[in-house]
Amino acid sequence: MKISDKEKTMLCVLGSIIVGFLYYQFLYLSQTDEFEAKVKTESEIKQKYDTAMNTINSMESKKSDVKILNAKIGEESTPFYPTISQEKIIIELDELLEDNSLKGSVTFLPIVSNSVENSKKEVKTLAKSSLQAIVDQYNNISGDAEKTQQSNDKTVNNAVKSDTNNTNVSNNNSSQSSKKDSKDVNKNTVQYLKCAVNFEGKYENLDKFLTVIGQNEKKIVVNSISLTSDTLDGVKGIMNLEFYSIPKINDELQSYLKWDLNNSYGKSVPFAGGTANKTVASAQADKEPSDFIALVKPTASDLPTITIGKSKDDLRTSYVYADSNSVENTEMILTQDGNKYYYKYKTSKGTFPVNYDSLGAEFIPASKNIVLDILSRSRLDTNDNSAMKLKIVNKTDKLLNVNISGEDSSNPRVKIEGDLNNISVNNK
């Protein structure tokens, strides 16, 4: 069969179409699907890469946040025991009784883990005294005694009604709160131990004992105390104490449970050292008590580089922190309103109080001047750049003494800015 040129051309075109179709169907489509899969995989890998890089870049910030959080948890949990150990508490109470010249014995109740009791306050309107009308008339506050008496009678009636209404509301609230407490009975529980201490001794020794308990590093709750007169200047009685514990995130538990009863106690030469001790005591007596404290540490420390807080704040609720290997800009504002004094401060990581636009928190200066003690540290190396630039605004009639100790002599960490007419900076 002879094929014409035209037919050859058509057969070539048909063959090209068939080959193209086969290529498209079996090669191109599969390669396209594979290419789209590769593009999708590339997008997923790029997203994971970006996420990983963001995480890596935020590591320093997260480390700072963790250090600040650990510091807050550690400091706010300091007043509580890391665990309830009756043996340790027996030794502690025995030392307290002996040091304050009291004789006593201790009876423990079982250790329990329960929710903390809530104290509820009721607000009631109290009726005026029936003698108030006579006093008002005597002081010419009321012009007419009869009208005053009628007014007082109305006040009494309204107060009685108010008391009745408040009682009903209080009963409703207590019933609702009891239902809520029954649901949440197993939430926010802590371990605590109750004990009864039978004691006898002089009254002034008992007063010292209670003062030492109030100043103890670990919080001991004196729930109740009953006294009877023993002799002319002696007393005896029973006090109920409570010890609370919460788990700690550091190694305080191990150090607390460590027994050192075989160690040497007291001075090696019991009759020596009077002059030196008097010198230290005299120096401490001359030092003005601090109202505020600040710590400036290297970034290698386990604690945040910047800590500012109110002195003698056992729960550290007034503390603010910051952590960075650079200069941290901080601010403290002291204000006076009449005969009352207020304070507030802030860092890049927090403020106190939370509402920084307010006047601040009230405080009573511990001496004739306001004192801020700053504890600094020498720099570890050339890469240690943590520092604090503290701007102080003192709007009070008192001088602010800023005492800086432990400072690096060649490259100081602390810089104070403010009006030096009412701020005195002392490097010690």
Element (H, E) at 16: helix 5-23
Q: How many CA atoms lie within 13 A of 23 on its CB side?
A: 6
Tell me if the pTM is above 0.85.
no
pLDDT of amino acid 132: 62
Residue 375 has pLDDT above 70, yes or no: yes
The span from the CA of 412 to the CA of 373, in Å, is 16
Residue 250 has pLDDT above 70, yes or no: no
Residue 113 has pLDDT above 80, yes or no: no
Cβ(295)–Cβ(306) below 8 Å: yes
Helix/strand/coil for 376: coil
Residue 11 has pLDDT above 80, yes or no: no
The span from the CA of 413 to the CA of 274, in Å, is 38
- What percentage of the chain carries pLDDT values higher than 70? 72
pLDDT of amino acid 156: 42
Q: Which residue has the tokens 């008002």?
A: 136
Q: How many CA atoms lie within 13 A of 353 on its CB side?
A: 10
pLDDT of amino acid 424: 92
Q: How many CA atoms lie within 13 A of 277 on its CB side?
A: 6
- What percentage of the chain carries pLDDT values higher than 90? 27
pLDDT of amino acid 309: 93
Q: Name the amino acid, one letter, at 141.
A: I
* Helix (DSSP H) and strand (DSSP E) numbers for the chain: 9, 17
Residue 161 has pLDDT above 70, yes or no: no
The span from the CA of 276 to the CA of 35, in Å, is 85
pLDDT of amino acid 387: 94
pLDDT of amino acid 29: 79
pLDDT of amino acid 135: 64
The span from the CA of 182 to the CA of 45, in Å, is 51
DSSP annotation of 339 reads T
Residue 162 has pLDDT above 60, yes or no: no
The span from the CA of 292 to the CA of 395, in Å, is 16
Q: What average pLDDT does the segment 73-78 reach?
A: 75
Who wins on pLDDT, 307 or 314? 307
Who wins on pLDDT, 147 or 140? 140
The span from the CA of 318 to the CA of 295, in Å, is 14
Residue 336 has pLDDT above 60, yes or no: yes
Calculate the average pLDDT of the chain: 78
The span from the CA of 99 to the CA of 105, in Å, is 15
Residue 106 has pLDDT above 60, yes or no: yes
Q: What average pLDDT does the segment 174-180 reach?
A: 48
pLDDT of amino acid 404: 94
Q: What average pLDDT does the segment 152-157 reach?
A: 48
Cβ-Cβ contacts under 8 Å for 250 (sequence gap 6 or more): 70, 74
What angle (nearest 5°) sits at the alpha carbon of residue 165, between those of residues 159 and 171?
Answer: 135
Residue 218 has pLDDT above 70, yes or no: yes
CB neighbour class for 70 (10 Å; exposed up to 12, middle 13-18, buried from 19): middle
pLDDT tens, position by position, 187-202: 567 788 889 999 888 8
Tell me which of 26-35, 98-107, 353-362 is least confident.
26-35
* Spacing of C-alpha 136 from chain mean position: 49
Instruction: Compute the 3-state secondary structure of the chain and give helix, strand, coil in percent, each to the nearest 5.
Output: 40, 25, 35
Q: What average pLDDT does the segment 400-417 reach?
A: 92
pLDDT class of 5 with cuts at 50, 70, 90: confident
pLDDT tens, position by position, 263-312: 444 444 443 444 434 443 444 445 688 999 999 999 888 889 999 999 98
Residue 395 has pLDDT above 80, yes or no: yes
Helices 59-76, 29-57: inter-axial angle, 10-degree rounding: 40
pLDDT class of 257 with cuts at 50, 70, 90: low
Helices 203-214, 86-99: inter-axial angle, 10-degree rounding: 130
Element (H, E) at 394: strand 387-395
The span from the CA of 81 to the CA of 185, in Å, is 22
Residue 243 has pLDDT above 60, yes or no: yes
Structure tokens at 65: 């946040």
Cβ-Cβ contacts under 8 Å for 6 (sequence gap 6 or more): none
Structure tokens at 264: 């040497």
Long-range contacts of 142-148 (CB under 8 A, 24+ apart): none
pLDDT of amino acid 267: 44
pLDDT tens, position by position, 54-63: 888 877 777 7
Cβ-Cβ contacts under 8 Å for 257 (sequence gap 6 or more): 83, 85, 88
Who wins on pLDDT, 383 or 302? 383
